[in-house]
């Protein structure tokens, strides 16, 4: 019987702020067969005011390598520093596969992996870096960068069929390079939750009767939480006993 080959996998994400992409990257490191894979998570520092998911990584035994130069804002000199840091990390760690998450880390990580001649390059799209409401020149720039990076990518993973269709419509990669894999999440804690509605309302300080509208998500520009607040104000003026609950955290918390 041939011995099992253990592959070294580097997951790269911009930083460990709490969110779906971060949890997916952490879970992708934690929930693999240790006899077949050795995984490490490479990331930048989480911005001030953001909840950090490092406790989850520690709980699941995920090794984390922090690169202070890796961040979300586009800053050319700092980005070059981050690129050099990623290349050094890959040279030290010798990964068989580099798996990038999020747009900024996705581009820099794939550039570094290509220059270091990493055998396998995978990128997961947790939402594209471009959208229909951004300035045309900015949108064209992001699409151009995504197209270029796709040439170096062995597999592009999207978390929904819609994102796959958006990528192909923008001529990013080819059909055979795409795979749809829905987000990896641990649902046991939700299935085990107390479903008593009266208790839940009491915990939230809500009356027993009256309509309640809730939203769950990160308080960031992409989720546009302010629109929910404006909608709540309009509805409550017409339905005085309505109540609204927002669950989440993020950079727009104070604005909300």
* pLDDT tens-digit series, residues 207-251: 888 899 999 988 888 789 999 999 999 999 999 999 999 998 888
pLDDT of the residue at 119: 96
Of 250, 244, 246, nearest in space to 219 by CA: 250
Query: Tens of pLDDT along 22-76?
Result: 888 999 999 999 999 999 999 998 877 677 888 999 999 999 999 999 988 888 8
pLDDT of the residue at 40: 96
pLDDT of the residue at 74: 84
Angle at Cα 6 formed by Cα 103 and Cα 10, nearest 5°? Answer: 20
pLDDT at residue 1 is higher than 70: no
Q: Which residues partner with 145 through β-bridges?
A: none
pLDDT of the residue at 3: 58
Ordered by start, the domain boundaries in the chain are 7-180, 196-247
User: How is the chain classified by DSSP, letter by letter?
Assistant: -PPPPPEEEEEEEEE-BSSHHHHHHHHHHHSS-TTTEEEEEEEEPPPTTSPB-HHHHHHTT-EEEE-TT--SS--HHHHHHHHHHHHHHHHHH--SEEEEESHHHHHHHHHHHHHTT-SEEEEEESS-S--TTS-HHHHHHHHHHHHHHHHT-SEEEESSHHHHHHHHHTT-S-GGGEEE-------HHHHTS---HHHHHHHTT--SSS-EEEEES--SGGG-HHHHHHHHHHHHHHSTT-EEEEE--STTTTT-
- Report the topology of domain 7-180: Rossmann fold (3.40.50)
pLDDT of the residue at 12: 96
pLDDT of the residue at 184: 65
pLDDT band at 149 (very low <50, low <70, confident <90, very high): very high
Query: Tens of pLDDT along 91-126?
Result: 999 999 999 998 899 999 999 999 999 999 999 999
Query: Tens of pLDDT along 158-216?
Result: 999 999 999 999 999 999 999 999 876 677 878 888 888 888 899 999 988 889 999 99
């Amino acid at each position: 019987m041939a011995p099992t080959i253990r592959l070294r996998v580097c997951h790269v994400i911009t930083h460990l702020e709490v969110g779906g992409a971060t949890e997916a990257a952490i879970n992708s490191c934690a929930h693999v067969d240790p006899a077949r894979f050795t995984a490490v998570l490479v990331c930048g520092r989480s911005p001030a005011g953001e909840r950090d998911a490092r406790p989850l990584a520690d709980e699941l035994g995920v090794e984390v390598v922090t690169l202070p130069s890796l961040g979300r804002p586009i800053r050319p000199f700092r980005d070059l520093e981050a690129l050099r840091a990623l290349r050094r990390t890959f040279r030290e760690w010798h990964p068989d596969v580099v798996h990038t998450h999020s747009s900024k880390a996705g581009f820099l990580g794939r550039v570094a992996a290509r220059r270091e001649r990493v055998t396998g390059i995978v990128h997961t799209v947790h939402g594209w870096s471009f959208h229909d409401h951004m300035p045309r020149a900015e949108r064209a720039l992001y699409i151009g960068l995504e197209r270029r990076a796709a040439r170096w990518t062995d597999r592009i993973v999207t978390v929904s069929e819609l994102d796959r269709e958006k990528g192909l419509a923008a001529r990013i990669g080819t059909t055979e390079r795409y795979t749809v894999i829905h987000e990896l999440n641990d649902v046991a804690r939700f299935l085990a939750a107390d479903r008593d509605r009266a208790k839940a309302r009491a915990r939230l300080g809500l009356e027993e009767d009256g309509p309640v509208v809730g939203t769950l998500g990160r308080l960031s520009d992409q989720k546009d939480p302010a629109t929910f607040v404006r909608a709540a104000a309009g509805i409550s003026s017409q339905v005085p006993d309505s109540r609204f609950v927002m669950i989440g955290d993020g950079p727009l918390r104070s604005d909300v």
